[in-house]
Amino acid sequence: MQMRIDENWKMSEVDGAIIGISQSFDLNLVPERLREVLKQLKEKELFQGKIDESYSMTWMNDTEWIELIFIGLGDSERFTRNKFRAEIGDAFRALKKKKIKTLGLDMESLKEIYDEPNFVSRLLSETLVMSDYAFDDYKSDKKNHELKTVLLKGLPYDQDALDEGEILGKSNVFARSLTNMPANALTPTKLANMTLEYGKTCGFDVEIKNLNEITALNMEAFLSVAKGSTEPPKLIVMRYNGNEKSDERLGLVGKGLTYDSGGLSIKPTAGMVNMKDDMGGASAVIGAMGAIAKMGIKTNVTAVVAACENMISGHSYKPGDIISSMGGKSIFIGNTDAEGRLTLVDAVTYIQNHENVDMILDIATLTGAAIHCLGVDASPILSNDDTFYSIVENAFKKADENQWRMPIFDEYKALIKHEQADLTNSAGSPGTITAGMFIEAFVKDIPWVHIDIAGTAFREKQEGIYSKGGTGAGVRPLYFLAKKLSK
């Protein structure tokens, strides 16, 4: 799909169009032959230009039919970027089903209510790319129609912002495709190999550490989770050096459970079906590294993924075990299904001890409690540093992904302690907070942020910019974090 600015495109040049209309729209802003249509729609109260409102029609242009969708923009008080994204995404998919090849977008009415054309340029391009994705790799009869060209007019579009949006959209889609791959296809080895290839394509370095190297690093917590599977674990280390004049380095850690059965604390069948998505944190940091490198962001970034499966065998770790960790702390295993935090703490220790990072952000599909906290539309965050959190918060706002900071009260700290070991991996309620605090126990005196995307990494149905399945949550916020830290 090629996006092109063309302020002079006409209805005769496209076979589908999306036209944004505000509530106080000026009929002079639309083609003359459509003015009467809009006037009648408004009089009949079929379309008022309200946000979340749309009207589809097939319109005869001289001798050809054009599939046309009006989307409501509302007014300056009711307009929101996420609703706008959703409208564009839904309209794009509807027109694609009509098998159009050339799409025209006219957003001139948006000038009346939202005056950030550069931001809209990025928003539109990333939205179109993200809306163009569907996971149908395994369908034998898939009929994925290709929309070839999108023509843009109505705003002073910025080409650099359009290009940035396209890269962000493609990076998000790559992360989604990783999350959506079934676990029999995406093993830790396959994830490592795909990351290697992705790094070559995007411009960041990748090092893969195998079982012997992981063992030599004394990553016992990580290995305890991995040893129940016949699939060998992989420690995936990604490095991007965007600023040779600075020693400052951002550290990203993503949870990489390519499948989670729950181990001996086995999940019910319904709970296991989507556990291929338990590497949504890994997808986020890999996708973000691709965007950071492609855009040439002037920040040094290292990302680490401890990739493995949590399975059942005679080698599996057991409830009641006491294990060690790379950080030297002993851990009582209260639940083998609280495995992600075990892999993360060794990855966090590794990135501090061996990669010399100055700040750490870890991201993970970590707790079901996160869904109880904020549902599927926002990610809980914990942090030990107000300044670092503030930068992350703004990065989420720029990406239009929702987050909310959870408290770290002193009263909670006793919950992760255990009478037989230094820590327990199953501290109970409030589960999202205690899981994050378990990770914090392995963070040295540097800024740290923890993001739980258990609710936001996967959608049960298609809506707006998201298809059913992985969402790529976190990719764009992590990119904007690195961009903000650039010097």
The topology under which CATH files domain 2-155 is Leucine Aminopeptidase, subunit E; domain 1 (3.40.220)
Query: Are 198 and 174 within 8 A, CB to CB?
Result: yes
* pLDDT value at 425 more than 90: yes
67-76, 111-120, 179-188, 284-293: range with lowest mean pLDDT: 111-120
DSSP 373-405: HHTTS-EEEEES-HHHHHHHHHHHHHHT--EEE
List Cβ neighbours of 270 (8 Å cut-off, separation of 6 or more). Answer: none
Q: What is the pTM of this model?
A: 0.96
**Does the pLDDT at position 27 exceed 90?**
no
Q: Where are the domains of the chain?
A: 2-155, 169-484
- When mean pLDDT is compared across 101-115, 203-217, 277-291, 339-353, the lowest value belongs to 101-115
Q: What confidence tens digit (pLDDT) does each residue in 224-240 have?
A: 999 999 999 999 999 99
Q: What is the pLDDT of residues 434-446, one digit of tens each?
A: 999 999 999 999 9
Q: What is the pLDDT of residues 251-266, one digit of tens each?
A: 999 999 999 999 999 9
Checking if the pLDDT of 142 tops 80, the result is no
User: Does position 195 have pLDDT exceeding 90, yes or no?
Assistant: yes
Tokens standing for 37?
A: 């249509």
Q: What is the pLDDT of residues 381-414, one digit of tens each?
A: 999 999 999 999 999 999 999 999 999 999 999 9
Query: What pLDDT is recorded for position 136?
Result: 86
Distance CA 388, CA 380 (A): 15
End-to-end alpha-carbon separation of the chain, Å?
33
Question: Would you tell me the crossing angle of helices 188-202 and 159-180 to the nearest 10 degrees?
Answer: 170
What pLDDT does 32 receive? 76
Per-residue pLDDT tens for 354-378? 999 999 999 999 999 999 999 999 9
Q: State in words which class domain 169-484 has.
A: alpha beta
Sign of the torsion formed by the C-alpha atoms of 311, 454, 387 and 287:
positive
- Is the pLDDT score of 29 beyond 90? no
The catalytic residue positions are 267, 341
In degrees and rounded to multiples of 5, residue 364 shows phi and psi of: -160, 145
**pLDDT at residue 62 tops 80:** no
